[in-house]
Amino acid sequence: MSDGSAIEWTDATWNPVRGCTKVSPGCKHCYAETLAERFRGVPGHPFEHGFDLQLIPGALELPLRWRAGRRIFVNSMSDLFHDDVPPAYIRRVFSVMTRASHHQYQVLTKRSARMARLAANLEIPAHVWMGVSVENQKYTTRIDDLRRVEAAVRFLSIEPLLGPIEDLDLTGIHWVIVGGESGHGARAMDPAWVRSIRDQAKASNVKFFFKQWGGVRKHVTGRVLDGRTWDEMPTPLRVTGARLAIVR
């Protein structure tokens, strides 16, 4: 967990769960697994057990200690809706997010069906954004699960983008992030795939964020698309009575 993040669309990361298991092709070169496994067997290190899934109760209240509001990516090193994370523990995470309402939270999962099922019994305040990862056309079914979740902001992380996604149904979606895979063995991303998703987002009046071209040297390939960067995000929250709402 980190107060500060190199991820372009967030300010900080919070990991009340660490570790995960692969569930689809987008996981093949998981950056989190690569990082965690470097420290397997190092006594006392947070990743002494590598990328094995662990609940970290001691990290639960970290957002309450951060006084200034931040955008917080929840479980950058795991998946909150992994089958091995008990529903009671997930409720504890949401309780902290409700209490620490001066932050915005970005909850992202590939386990969309479990998220949709459990969300029916969760209170999801407006400052908690709910999203799914989609790497190619096959996994657009996750978007249907996301639409079943009552959230003020629903978003897609289409990263790593591994193939074209046409006829993208963005009904009920507020934000789309696109990025290429980076690091050793990175799979290539066709610029035409990116432009198609951007154009579909614009046609649907959905915010579009282009994170990176990726590749082995992502700092060289950068994040410029058609002469500019694309940094659109849902607009900030404002207080309306006792609740928070998105300013459209």
CB of 19 within 8 A of CB of 50? yes
Tens digit of each residue's pLDDT (9 = 90 or more) over 186-213? 999 999 999 999 999 999 999 999 999 9
For 18, the 3-state DSSP assignment is: strand
pLDDT at 177 over 80: yes
pLDDT at 178 over 60: yes
What pLDDT is stored for residue 240 in this prediction?
37
Nearest residue to 22 via CA among 135, 158, 102, 137? 135
What are 31's two structure tokens?
């950056």
pLDDT at 42 over 50: yes
φ, ψ of residue 77 to 5 degrees: the values are -110, 25
- The ranges assigned to domains in the chain are 12-16+59-246
Query: Residue 119 and residue 75: Cα distance in Å, rounded?
Result: 17
pLDDT at 221 over 90: yes
Q: Which CATH class is domain 12-16+59-246?
A: alpha beta
pLDDT at 239 over 60: no
What pairing do the DSSP bridges indicate for beta strands 12-14 and 71-74?
Answer: parallel
Average pLDDT, the chain: 93
Nearest residue to 175 via CA among 191, 192, 153? 153
Amino acid identity for residue 181 in this structure: E
